[in-house]
Amino acid sequence: MTDAPHLLYQVTDAVARIAINREAQRNALSPKAIRLFHEHLDAAESDTSVRCVLLRGAGTRAFCTGADLGSAIKADGDALPTARSYARLLHRIYTFPKPTVAMVQGYCLAGGMGLMLACDMVLADEKSRFGTPEVNVGLFPMMIGALIFRNVPRKQAMEMILTGRMIEAQEALSMGLVTAVHPTEALPGETMALLSLLAGKSPIGLRLGKEAFAAVENFPFDTAVDSLAEALTRVINTQDAAEGLKAFMEKRAPEFTGT
């Protein structure tokens, strides 16, 4: 395991595990943690043994409670470099070519919501709590708003943003903030089962599919379906697609190579 002060990175069983390692600070994001996130995602993308990525926080008290306000703003008061680095991180996760899963335990607040929402899937325990409390200290959840409105209907999103109230796990599920909620003791096992399932899929098929979906997200319908038809031909022409179809006909598990 690579042990950095603010982030941990480990690859096992085809899964790159990234953990915010600031339990005493409720896994608040420092500028250093954001830089390490970029480095570790680069490593996970280039490592052909990695099939999917897990994001989590150290311990069980918090997934991430947002920016470490004490270190995020420089002495001269210029917060823009850190804000831009965090914005790039959200885009990096949102468009990452391999499946991303967040496992949420405890509090997931402010910038932590951005990390979670940028992932493809989110599994949370029944005791987790979510929120955008920025308004309580005179701030506003700016960059993560781009992700909130891609997951939650506007009225519900604005109520959460403008009041800053805490949201319990089951309400987060009903709003579309998370994929599933599990009992606390079952969450690690359910998360590992999902990651194992994802790791067994075709890497190139998933990458081409994710890239295609990201590219057409804001296209008009006609343009989107035409673009996706072209993307389908690229997937069909991969060796993994040929192997998958052959395995289906032979009633066996496919052996995907990522080509």
Backbone angles phi, psi at 75, to 5 degrees: -60, -30
| Residues acting as catalytic residues | 134
Phi and psi, residue 211, nearest 5°: -65, -40
Backbone angles phi, psi at 31, to 5 degrees: -55, -35
CA distance 108 to 105: 8
Chain position carrying tokens 């997951």: 151
Helices (H), the chain: 31-46, 69-72, 80-94, 111-118, 142-148, 154-163, 169-175, 187-199, 203-216, 221-236, 239-249
